């Protein structure tokens, strides 16, 4: 599982997908979400505005599992 560090309180799923280079544009994000390839904490997710907080796990079929963590001071 790869840890993804953020410096803000949360990151949206759309921003997250761009951040980890899974998608380059909003259109790509919509297509990936429509295919049902993403689970957040084990639950299917289709909203690109879904807020991801530190400790949450995102599984992307074919790309792996990622855990959101907050930058340490």
Question: How confident is the model over 7-63, as pLDDT tens digits?
Answer: 999 999 999 999 999 988 989 999 989 999 899 999 999 999 999 999 999 999 988
More confident residue, 16 or 72: 16
Number of domains in the chain: 1
pLDDT at 73: 61
SS3 at position 72? coil
Spatial CA neighbour of 60 closest among 25, 24, 13: 13
Q: Which domain holds residue 47?
A: 2-70
Is there a contact between 28 and 48 (Cβ–Cβ < 8 Å)? no
Is there a contact between 16 and 53 (Cβ–Cβ < 8 Å)? no
> Does the model's pTM come out above 0.85?
yes
Is there a contact between 68 and 54 (Cβ–Cβ < 8 Å)? yes
Q: The CATH number of the domain where 21 resides is what? A: 3.10.290.10
């Amino acid at each position: 599982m790869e840890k993804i560090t953020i410096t803000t309180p949360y990151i949206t799923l759309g921003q997250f997908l761009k951040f980890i280079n899974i998608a380059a544009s909003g259109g790509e994000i919509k297509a990936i979400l429509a295919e049902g390839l993403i689970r957040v904490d084990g639950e299917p997710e289709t909203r690109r505005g879904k807020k991801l907080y530190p400790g949450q796990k995102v599984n992307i079929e074919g790309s792996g599992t990622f855990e959101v963590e907050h930058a340490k001071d």
